Chains A and B, each alone.
Chain A
Amino acid sequence: MERESLEIEIVEISLNVKNSSINSVRRKEVTRRAARVFKEGSLGLAAAQGDVPFDDLFKRAENALALGIEWNYDLPTDTVYTRDATQGLDSLTEDGICSLGETVLKQLTSRNPDFIFSDRIGGARKKVRLENSKGISLSLATQETEIGLTFKHRESSNIIDGYHAAGWLRDVNTEEYIERYNEILDGYRNSSDLKSARRKVVFLNEGMVMAKFREVLRGDRYYRGASLLSEKIGEKIFSENFTLYDSNDLVENGYCSPFDMEGVKREESDLVLIEHGVLRDVVLDLRNGAKYGRKSTGNGYRAYSQNPDIRFNALRVERGKKTLDEILDGEEALVVLLASGGDFLDNGDFSTPVQLSFTYGNGKFIGRAPQVTLKSNLLRMFGEDLVGISCDSFMSDRINPYLIMEMDMEVH
């Protein structure tokens, strides 16, 4: 019988910001443990929060073997790896986070008294230890600081008008965060007229337009024919300029997960998924790797109380050679800050309402655009309608650059 243990320790300090001031201070200390046993084609899982001894968890995991969860893949072996990404950082304290919060709020509110700021500022120190009986011993320590503040103009009747967030695993760059925030608010104070048209569009938070890749590049969906891209590995589908990686070690950009939650530590941090428009690979965990005759790509992730499932690391787009302004070359674009509620259809068609966007030109936000709906299709957005990929990004340490794409825009 093989055994695996997982322990996650989290210390978190979080400030709730209401009406531009600190409303609460919360400290959370949580230990989560999980044990898995593997025997004769079955695996058993047990997990708990708190100081529950591993011996107890292993007994419960052995009892859970009776549930008949199938185990039909090899466990990773013989890797010892320790990573402490917290070295050199100040320790996480209530005083430190409160001081950070007070500094950020003071600067934002003194320059922008016409806005109300809310939501959360916090830090979390996390230690992950994963071991198995086949010689896997992996540990990772990280400390993340995050500032995520909504803004609302005092004369607005919306709950919120916009949101700007940033997170760091290394040095916190509040200066740049506040500079970018001020630029957003300056843009908000002016308004721009727009007419329905086809326009160049830039998403400041590219998560929404990248979301479909997290479905269509899942190995299990791909190999079962349930992905829009099934059977297309090796084919050129997207723009020559579009190269996409699954990246697991970008500590300077706020993401660090050099091994997955099955104990797989892949050799390269970057897994090439799309290269110059050609589909190269999909992501797999151990179970699906074995099922489809492939190796795991190191993408088996899980909550402590679950068995692994396929999950992406950071989806990173290769940067281009020109800045956003060089690509636009004097032409105006629509820069989207807040687009919530839209979605992709199964055929790749995409539509989203945009709650807050700006007209942009000559390096600045010109004015707040009216509410619009954007429409396109995944294959076009990253294919013929991909105007360019910049070398710069909204925050200097963001993982992804600006993606500039042409889309159909309808003004409401």
Chain B
Amino acid sequence: MHLEELHLEKLPCDYADVRVEERYRSNLVYRNFETQSGIELQDTSAFIRVFHNGRWFFSTTTDIEKIGREIDRLMKLSGRFPGISSPLTVPHATRRNIIRCADENARLHPLREKKRVLESYFFIYRKEKKLADCTAIYADWWIRKHIRSSKGHQCTYDTTMHGLHFDFTVKDGGQMFRSRFGVAYPVFLRLSGLQNLVSRDLAEAKRFLRAKTVKPGTYPVILSEQTAGVFAHESFGHKSEADFMMGDKKMMEEWQIGKRVGASTLSIVDRGNVWGTCGYCPFDDEGTMCRKTYLIRNGILEGRLHSLETATALGEKPTGNARAINGQFEPMVRMTNTYIEAGASRFNELLEGIELGVYVKSFRHGSGLSTFTIAPDRAYMIRDGRLAEPVRVAVVSGTVFQTLKDIDGLSSRVRLFRSVIGGCGKSEQAPLPVSFGGPKVKVRQMHVS
């Protein structure tokens, strides 16, 4: 079935759209250097939405020929729920095709070549006498999305990513340290020739075997580019998702545009149209063009993230942040690539003046509720303005607004973090590929335990 044959604009409903996703994925899993799994998957699915009388009706199918049948079913279902017509505001119908990876994508590389690349790093771990356990993963994806709506959207784009991930445990006597190393690139060839990087990472991990658990307390903290990104994502990004504000007067009062919420040096951005990132999407899953959205600019609340529905409800413009994890789920307001903009300091300048503090270099996971958290993978003590010994930290946490105000230094280089493992979770939909990052960020105090 061609999507053009659907004639969605003629449906007697307030809005309808169809998103068809073609997906290729492959992965290889090794446990302690023995192949455990390897597969290539390719499928197509369609997600159909009808909005009528203020309520959504969704269906999904892996049989593209049945899209018409599913639309009919949803139209009948919507008739069972009477209500008041409430059209979505669709300011602009996107009619664009952005195909960027026709010549370089995950489908074009045979699985045996991916296997060869992953195995080219095994000798580094194999020769390590302190290695107790190692899981090695290769994963990639290529996705092409087609979106058509009753308001005239006709757009298609594609994206791809390839990555390696090592989850390993080193052990010495009774001491153990579990850590991870990963890289991801839109260009497959970039995964080769990283042996020095992997070796240095493993050598650093071994230093943590002798690390002590941090003395719990409040410390000045410097977040690396990667962990600053987690902070931006967890502490503020989720709170900028406008679906949390629909019908909630208190939240609208608390989150008034123009309110000062952070240090004057702080700007946090969400931007989907950054090629080569995990959150790349030139338009979202409703066909809205993605753009650079300042959530905070110079410490002032400037924007929030929207779908068509939340933008209509709040009387604001859609931002291109309606995303679904795959073709079997409805889009909801999600981040794309979220980052803190650069400052002007060097790392040494951030360290200066910290008598006793903690540097959080990498993370295992993060969360963002009233208290945001970062569970560090690797962290170091800061003593007398210099990086000191490795330290074991279970969690770094803080309250969002206090921490935003406590930021008192940003380094000058922004880096975005990519991974083919994990992603963002919200409600039932996880993991959604996103990128996040920032400069190194100095915070006057955070709780470390």
Contact = CB atoms under 8 A, between A and B. Distances in A.
Interface of A: 14, 16, 18-19, 22-31, 45-51, 64, 66-70, 94-95, 116, 119-120, 152, 154-161, 220-221, 224-226, 228, 287, 305-307, 309, 338, 340-347, 349-353, 355, 371, 373, 375, 410, 412
Contact of B112 (A67, A119, A352, A353): A67
Interface in B40-84: 41-43, 45, 55-63, 73, 77, 80-81
A347 B392 contact: yes
A67 to B, nearest CB: 5
Interface string B174-196: 01111000000000000000000
A91 to B, nearest CB: 16
B397 A341 contact: yes
Contact of A305 (B39, B115, B239, B394): B39
Most A C-beta atoms less than 10 A away, residue of B39, B239, B244, B247: B39
- The DSSP consensus for interface residues of chain B is strand
With most chain B CB atoms within 10 A of its CB, the pick from A30, A161, A346, A349 is: A346
Contacts of B348: none
B239 A373 contact: no
Interface in B110-142: 111-112, 115, 132-133
A69 B36 contact: yes
A54 to B, nearest CB: 16
B26 to A, nearest CB: 10
B367 interface: yes
Given A24-B55, A25-B55, A341-B397, A50 B62 contact: yes
Contacts of B42: 48
Contact of A340 (B45, B55, B171, B367): B367
A306 B39 contact: yes
Interface residues of B, number: 73
B63 A224 contact: no
A306 B28 CA distance: 9
A341 B243 contact: no
Contacts of A51: 62-63
Interface of B: 27, 29, 31-32, 34-39, 41-43, 45, 55-63, 73, 77, 80-81, 111-112, 115, 132-133, 169, 171, 175-178, 213, 216, 238-239, 243-244, 246-251, 254, 328, 330, 364-367, 369-375, 392, 394-395, 397, 399, 427-428, 447, 449
Nearest to A307: B37
Name the residue in B216, B244, B374 with the highest tally of chain A Cβ atoms < 10 Å from its Cβ.
B244
Given A119-B427, A157-B251, A226-B169, A373 B366 contact: no
Contacts of B38: 45, 64, 67, 69
A34 to B, nearest CB: 9
Contacts of A225: 132, 171
B132 A412 contact: no
Given A49-B45, A226-B132, A226-B171, A343 B365 contact: yes
A239 to B, nearest CB: 22
B216 A70 contact: no
A152 B73 CA distance: 34
A119 B251 CA distance: 17
Given A224-B132, A226-B169, A69 B392 contact: no
24 contacts: A22-B55, A25-B56, A28-B59, A28-B60, A28-B328, A50-B43, A50-B62, A67-B35, A67-B115, A154-B248, A157-B254, A224-B32, A226-B169, A307-B37, A309-B29, A341-B369, A341-B397, A345-B394, A346-B169, A355-B369, A355-B371, A373-B447, A375-B216, A410-B216
Contacts of B171: 225-226
Given A26-B59, A224-B32, A338 B369 contact: yes
Given A29-B61, A51-B63, A305-B41, A120 B371 contact: no
Given A347-B176, A373-B449, A342 B373 contact: yes
A401 B34 CA distance: 40
Nearest to A352: B395
Nearest to A29: B61
Given A26-B57, A27-B58, A347-B175, 5 more contacts: A18-B243, A47-B39, A68-B35, A157-B250, A344-B394
Contacts of B371: 340-341, 353, 355, 371
A346 B58 contact: no
Contacts of A156: 250
| Residue of B35, B37, B375, B447 contacting most chain A CB atoms (<10 Å) | B37
A31 B62 contact: yes
Given A18-B246, A343-B395, A371-B370, A349 B213 contact: yes
Contacts of B244: 159
B375 A342 contact: yes
Contacts of B365: 341, 343
B176 A346 contact: yes
Q: Could you say which of B133, B254, B372 has the most chain A C-beta atoms within 10 Å of its C-beta?
A: B133
Nearest to B57: A25
Nearest to B178: A346
A64 B29 CA distance: 14
Contacts of B374: 341
A76 B319 CA distance: 54
A19 B247 contact: yes
Contacts of B238: 159
B42 to A, nearest CB: 8
Rank and list the top 8 A-B pairs by shortest CB-CB distance, nearest first: A341-B373, A50-B62, A24-B56, A226-B133, A341-B367, A19-B247, A26-B58, A351-B394
A155 B34 CA distance: 55
A50 B63 contact: yes
Nearest to A28: B60
B422 to A, nearest CB: 15
A306 B367 contact: no
A24 B45 CA distance: 20
A15 to B, nearest CB: 10
A152 B213 CA distance: 35
Contacts of B392: 345-347, 349
A51 B397 CA distance: 47
A355 B399 CA distance: 10
A256 to B, nearest CB: 21
In this complex, the member of B58, B364, B370 whose beta carbon has the largest number of chain A beta carbons within 10 angstroms is B370
B120 to A, nearest CB: 16
Nearest to A119: B427
A62 to B, nearest CB: 14
A345 B367 CA distance: 17
A66 B35 CA distance: 12
A221 B133 contact: yes
A154 B251 CA distance: 9
Contact of B62 (A49, A161, A341): A49
